[in-house]
Chains A and B, each alone.
Chain A
Amino acid sequence: MSALLTIRNVSKNFGGFAALSDVSLAVAEGERFGLIGPNGSGKTTLINCVSGLLRNDRGSILFAGEELSRLPAYQRTRRGIARSFQVPRPFHTMTVLENLLVPSAYVGHLKDADAEARAMEILGRIGLAQKAAAHTSELSQVELRKLELARAMAAGPKLLISDEAMAGLAGKEVDEVLAILFKLNESGITIIMIEHIMQAVMRFSQRVICLDAGRIICEGTPAAIVQNPEVQKAYLGA
């Protein structure tokens, strides 16, 4: 499999604090990729650099062979990188359906009727079709998480970055979100999962990277990662 996303020597500083130091990794097309690490390890900073909400200070980010580092976030979304947010950020003055019409209009450039049909199809796949007309204030926590994924899907991504989509969810709800992510991956979408729920990461990921203090400390299969002494020390509390 060829690399869809290649990150080379990416660094990001906030003043004197090095949030990312020389991070390099590659994610293959169609891969299910896990990103773990303790709080403050740089996971969200890294995906903010990939999605364009932050600019990396050094290094390069290649997506399908194209350098992204100087592109604004919306251009990266249009090239096929979509993301969900750790804390759900729905467009709260809109209905669930209208939330999906935003990326449909700006990325897919679809006319209203086509955009609505596509949005309803995505909501059906995600399990939110019956809530299409609801306002976001009427949604439960798991529904808000699903809406984040649905909105990202409406941008028609090649790469979906799921930033702690299961945070704060109970066991059955975690399974629901996980099932959605598996389904999306089966449809050909490459997925980077950032998660603290280790069982979910283990079940989902084909390959995992562990970050600590802005550096990659280990890379491998989920089974190898949990056996790694550095990961155990930094993250798993051994």
Chain B
Amino acid sequence: MKFWLGAAVVAAALVATAAFVNYEYFFFAGYTVLMFVVLATAWNILGGYAGYVNFGTPAFFGLGVYSAAVLYKATAAPLAVQIALAAVMAGLLGFGAGLLTLRLRGIFFAIATIALTVIMQTVFINWRYAGGATGLQLLRPAPIAPFESYIKMLFLVMAIVAIGSVAIARYIERSWVGRGLRAIRDSEEAAEASGVPTLKLKLVACTISGALMGAAGAPMPMYLSYIEPASTFSLNYAVGALASPMIGGTAHWLGPVIGAVLLSSLQQIVTVTVSNEMNVLLVGALLVVFIVAAPEGILGLVRRILPRR
């Protein structure tokens, strides 16, 4: 109940911001921050709860981007349908990739997920209907009433996706699925010997994680009005999705949210005030600091400082 009350307050605050703030760049940047909340939350379901480090975020995200773009080009379907299709496609990719890779562990799994990104990028580079290597230009439709600004509308759409993603991650964390995933992270053999169907659970986590990443990518074609494979499948999405839970804390649903809001906001500020290239350096420096000083992230640090109740 407390969670839903908090979610309602956050949603109301974001709606009020959209109603009263007229500075467009704020929503342009805010959209990115919320998108990374979704990506980080989705990454944490497999990477944080189950301990399977996934560098394939751009593959799922990019498939979401292209699914939405191709659907829009073919049918001019509304955004909600684009998001739904993107989630289904990326979820299916998660299921398929999981079947092939989830028997691997540690570094081998991580390498396989990088390969997945390369494969997906190659597919879209060579698909002419989707724009090929030169990309695809898309004209935004008019915003839906009561919105006057398309960016404001996308900002609130991404806010809904973010709240939905966090709610799903929280449900998983607190359910028997979450307990099983934690057991897998701690010792896969002991989990299996305790009756946990480890492969099935990892597949569930990979599918849901992929679907949410795909949903995060779906509004991107309308956000940029242009997509192309190199930036859509950029490893920066993998780094951001991984770094945010590491910074916020992987053990709790709130960790990726805190990490993504902090990291993405800082990145937006650095982009505007210093340079775009400094983003990656910032992420790297913060990751090193947190891994050394607070390996359990900000939430772990808070737990260590505050006495147990």
Contact = CB atoms under 8 A, between A and B. Distances in A.
Of the listed residues B179, B190, B196, B197, the one surrounded by the most CB atoms of chain A closer than 10 A to its CB is: B190
Nearest to B187: A89
A74 B184 CA distance: 12
A218 interface: no
B75 to A, nearest CB: 43
A145 B179 CA distance: 22
B257 interface: no
A180 interface: no
Given A78-B195, A102-B180, A106-B196, A53 B189 contact: yes
A73 interface: yes
A229 interface: no
Interface in A64-91: 72-74, 77-78, 82-83, 85, 89-91
B193 interface: yes
Interface string B65-87: 00000000000000000000000
B24 interface: no
A74 B195 contact: yes
B195 A89 contact: no
A93 B185 contact: yes
A107 interface: yes
Contacts of B192: 52-53, 72-74, 77
A154 B251 CA distance: 25
A93 B181 CA distance: 11
A72 B192 CA distance: 8
Nearest to B198: A74
Interface residues of A, number: 28
A102 B197 contact: no
Interface string A205-234: 000000000000000000000000000000
Nearest to A51: B193
B14 to A, nearest CB: 33
A35 interface: no
Nearest to A81: B193
A83 B195 CA distance: 11
A155 B194 CA distance: 7
Interface in B151-205: 176, 179-180, 182-183, 185-187, 189-199
A158 interface: no
A92 B196 CA distance: 16
Contact of B195 (A91, A93, A103): A103
Nearest to B185: A93
A159 interface: no
Q: How many B residues touch the partner, as a band? A: 20 to 34
A204 B176 CA distance: 37
Nearest to B186: A91
A5 interface: no
A91 B176 contact: no
Contacts of B194: 74, 77, 102-103, 106-107, 151, 154-155
Contacts of B180: 102, 105-106
A101 interface: yes
A76 B192 CA distance: 9
Given A91-B182, A91-B186, A93-B251, A102 B191 contact: yes
Nearest to A108: B195
Contacts of A91: 182-183, 186-187, 190-191
Contacts of A77: 192-195
A94 interface: yes
A19 to B, nearest CB: 17
A92 B179 CA distance: 12
A152 B189 CA distance: 13
Contact of A155 (B182, B186, B195): B195
B23 to A, nearest CB: 43
Nearest to A77: B195
Contact of A90 (B185, B186, B189, B251): B186
Given A74-B198, A101-B179, A105-B180, 13 more contacts: A73-B189, A77-B193, A85-B193, A91-B182, A91-B187, A91-B190, A93-B185, A102-B195, A103-B195, A105-B176, A106-B176, A106-B194, A155-B194
What are the 9 closest A-B residue pairs judged by CB atoms, nearest first?
Answer: A107-B195, A106-B195, A89-B190, A89-B187, A91-B186, A73-B192, A103-B194, A77-B195, A105-B176
25 contacts: A51-B193, A53-B193, A72-B197, A72-B199, A73-B189, A74-B193, A74-B196, A74-B198, A77-B192, A78-B195, A85-B189, A89-B186, A90-B187, A91-B191, A92-B186, A93-B182, A93-B251, A94-B182, A94-B183, A102-B183, A103-B195, A105-B180, A106-B180, A106-B194, A151-B190
Interface of B: 176, 179-180, 182-183, 185-187, 189-199, 251
